[in-house]
Structure 1
Amino acid sequence: MPILPEWKFILELPADYLAMDRIHPNVNYEIFENKNLYTNIDDIIAVYRFIPDVTRFPGYFVEFLVYS
């Protein structure tokens, strides 16, 4: 577990989170157990990779995957 006095804020990551691509503003952060993001700023924009909901794929895309 990270040393908590180093960080002012703990932000919960979404359940579908896979990996972080970038954070704006560009600040130091730490991710612990893919559940929480520790940082010193509470107002951030995170661009991350996620697990898509396959039930929302359009039919033509599913057909393409089946026949590929």
Structure 2
Amino acid sequence: MVNEAPFRPREKLIEKQRLYQSIHRHTHLKGPMDKITSVAIPLALAGSSLFLIARGIYNMSHGIGKKA
């Protein structure tokens, strides 16, 4: 039976565990790039959808953009 080498050295793993356990934030915001995926992208999607909804209501109320 052959033992495989681990993906990361044990020291790096322990260092990362200490880092993540010492941060007192929500679990989904603990990584360095997690603010982008958990906050910025949903805010951008919400903002663009609100803009499109408002534009559609404006166009419907003024009769703009009819197809025929």
TM-score past 0.5 threshold: no
Name the one with the larger helix percent: 2
Q: The TM-score by the shorter chain falls in which range?
A: under 0.3
Which structure has the highest strand share of the two?
1
Tell which has more relative contact order, 1 or 2 (C-alpha 8 A, sep 6+). 1
